[in-house]
């Protein structure tokens, strides 16, 4: 089966079985290892990608569903100014994310702020509900997202916010 889609802004084609998981396609066919195989059951968030503008677990998406879709992985997102802002704020907040959850947290932050430019604490926690991490300090994470939102508002609209 030939499946065409947009991956990190480029038109690509996957040639293979319709039921192969997207996480395996990214890693085996495109050499993108930022999305990690964790639970493989949609529970941990290690394989998070942005699929048609929504954060999604790549382990639950079969190949046949990606026809004509747009997929952004952490590798693609890492080329953006938004990525730099998120990483700087995470570092300043001393979140100490591990390699398994960091990409998911970054992409969840981006998807959340795209949807809600100034989210409440409750909305931030909802935005991260797909990431199973018990080691990050939640208050620091919320403060980091608040600061990213403020920096983004200043960059986009100027002034202080
Ligand atoms: S590996 Fe996909 S959610 Fe855990
Ligand atoms: S799972 Fe990565 S820091 Fe908690």
Distances (CA, A) of 156 to 14, 32, 80, 147, 149: 36, 30, 14, 14, 11
HSE (CB half, 13 Å, CA atoms) of 146?
10
Q: Which tens digits make up the pLDDT trace of 41-74?
A: 999 999 999 999 999 999 999 999 999 999 999 9
**Residue 7, beta-bridge partner list:** 10, 71
- Check whether 161 has a pLDDT greater than 60: no
Report the pLDDT value the prediction gives residue 122, as an integer from 0 to 100.
97
Contact 1, 18 (CB under 8 A): yes
Q: Please, what are the domains in the chain? A: 2-77 (3.10.20.30), 81-157 (1.10.150.120)
Within 8 A by CB and 6+ apart from 150, the residues are 161
Question: Residue range 90-111: average pLDDT?
Answer: 95
Does residue 59 line the site of ligand 1, with CB under 6 A? yes
Q: How far is the CA of 43 from the centre of ligand 2 (A)?
A: 14
**For the CA of 26, the nearest ligand:** 1
**For the CA of 136, the nearest ligand:** 2
Contact 106, 86 (CB under 8 A): yes
Radius of gyration of the chain (CA): 16
pTM, entire model: 0.94
Does residue 40 line the site of ligand 1, with CB under 6 A? yes
List the residue whose alpha carbon is closest to atom 2 of ligand 2.
Answer: 98
Burial class (CB in 10 A: 0-12, 13-18, 19+), 99: exposed
Q: How far is the CA of 158 from the centre of ligand 2 (A)?
A: 34
Contact 131, 48 (CB under 8 A): yes
Q: How far is the CA of 84 from the centre of ligand 2 (A)?
A: 20
């Amino acid at each position: 089966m030939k499946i065409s889609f947009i991956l990190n802004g480029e038109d690509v084609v996957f040639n293979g079985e319709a039921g192969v998981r997207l996480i395996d396609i990214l890693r085996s066919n495109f050499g993108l290892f930022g999305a990690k195989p964790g639970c493989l059951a949609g529970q941990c968030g290690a394989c998070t990608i942005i699929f048609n503008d929504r954060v999604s677990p790549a382990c639950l998406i079969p190949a046949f569903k990606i026809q004509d879709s747009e997929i952004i992985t952490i590798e693609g997102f890492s080329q953006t100014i938004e990525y730099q802002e998120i990483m700087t704020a995470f570092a300043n907040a001393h979140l100490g994310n591990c390699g398994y959850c960091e990409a998911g947290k970054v992409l969840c932050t981006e998807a959340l702020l795209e949807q809600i430019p100034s989210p409440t604490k409750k909305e931030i926690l909802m935005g991260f509900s797909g990431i199973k991490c018990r080691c990050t300090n939640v208050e620091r994470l919320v403060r980091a997202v608040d600061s990213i939102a403020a920096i983004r508002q200043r960059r986009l609209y100027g002034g202080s916010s």
